[in-house]
Structure 1
C-alpha cells in the first residue's frame, strides 16, 4: 500500500533517491542549470519534505519550499521501479494539501524541457508554463510552471 508522509531527507531511503536524482541532474545538465536543494537545505524550516513508500521501500520524494506569496515544488523524484504507478501524482497531491494547509494558493516549479515525463505530470495536474520567477537565472534548460490552487471547500456541520 502506498503511503505518502512527512519524512527526513537524511533518512536512508529518501537520501538514496535524492542522491540518484542529483546524479541524474548532474549528468543531464550543466552545473549552472541545476537548481536542486541539497540535503541540508531540504532540512530547512521553510521546507516540507515528503516521501512515498510501500512498506519499508521508499518509492519517491517531493518537497514544498515556502516562499513569500507562493510555494515551490522541489525534489520531485520517483525510483525507476515505481514509475508509472501513480507515486509522483500522490506526492504532488500531498504537497498541494500541505500548501492549502499553509494558506498558500500559488504553486510554482522549475523543471527542464528534457524531462518530458515530469512536464506531462505537471500539466496533467493543472500546472501551466509561465515566465521565470524567484532567484532563477535565464537559461536554455529550464521550464517554469505555475498552478493556482482552489481553496478547500468548507462543509457546514
Structure 2
C-alpha cells in the first residue's frame, strides 16, 4: 500500500474522525484523569505540527504530532494508525517525520507520554525499536501506573 504523509491541519472531518477513533481506543485503557488528550482545536495551535498519513485513495489512515515546548523539547502527541494498516510501518513513518522535524528545529530531546497495559504494547514496541528509552515523568505529567514515559536524545548524548 502506498502511503503519503504530509503536514496538515487537524481541523478536517477525516482527521477529526481519526482523533475520535484514537479516543475510543484509549477510553477503556486507563482512568480519564490519566488520559492526556489534545483536542483538534489544541492540535491546531501554532506550537503543534500534525502529520497525517493517507492511503492511495486519500483516506486518512494515521496521524502523529510534534508539540514544541520551547526550543529544547519536542513532545510526540496523538500517534495513531487505524487497525487496517497496522503492521505496514505507517506508525514508524509518522514517527520518522516527527523526529526529523524536531531535528530540523534543533531540539535536543523528543519525549512522549503513553499509556500502559496490553492495549499499548504495540506503541511501546514502536518507540523502543526507534531508539526511545524509558524515563520518568516530564513537564507536568503525574507519576502513575497508568503512564509510561519515553525519551529520544537527538544531540548524541545518552538518555537520562
Deviation at residue 15 of structure 1 after TM alignment: 1.4
What does residue 63 of structure 1 align with? 65
| Range with greater deviation from structure 2 (118-127 or 141-150) | 141-150
User: Are 1:19 and 2:20 an aligned pair?
Assistant: yes
Distance in 2 separating the partners of 1:106 and 1:98: 12
1:131 to 115, 119, 136: 136
1:100 paired residue among 103, 110, 113: 103
> What TM-score comes out, normalization by structure 2 length?
0.90
DSSP 3-state at the match of 2:52: strand
The answer (yes or no) to whether the contact 2:3–2:55 under 8 Å persists in 1 is yes
Task: Measure the CA separation in 2 of the matches of 1:32 and 1:139.
Answer: 11
Matched, 1:37 2:25: no
1:78 to 81, 89, 100: 81
> For the residues of structure 2 that align with 1:12 and 1:80, how far apart are their CA atoms?
19
| TM-score, normalising length: structure 1 | 0.92
Aligned length: 151
1: distance between equivalents of 2:155 and 2:125? 21
Work out the CA distance in 2 between the residues paired with 1:129 and 1:138: 13
CA-CA distance at 1:74 after TM superposition:
0.2
User: Could you say what secondary structure the match of 2:28 adopts?
Assistant: helix
Q: Which moved more, 1:74-83 or 1:133-142?
A: 133-142
- Which residue among 113, 118, 121 is the counterpart of 2:126? 121
Match of 2:113 in 1: 110
For structure 1, the 5+ residue unaligned runs are: 152-157
- Give the distance between the partners of 1:21 and 1:129, measured in 2 at CA: 23
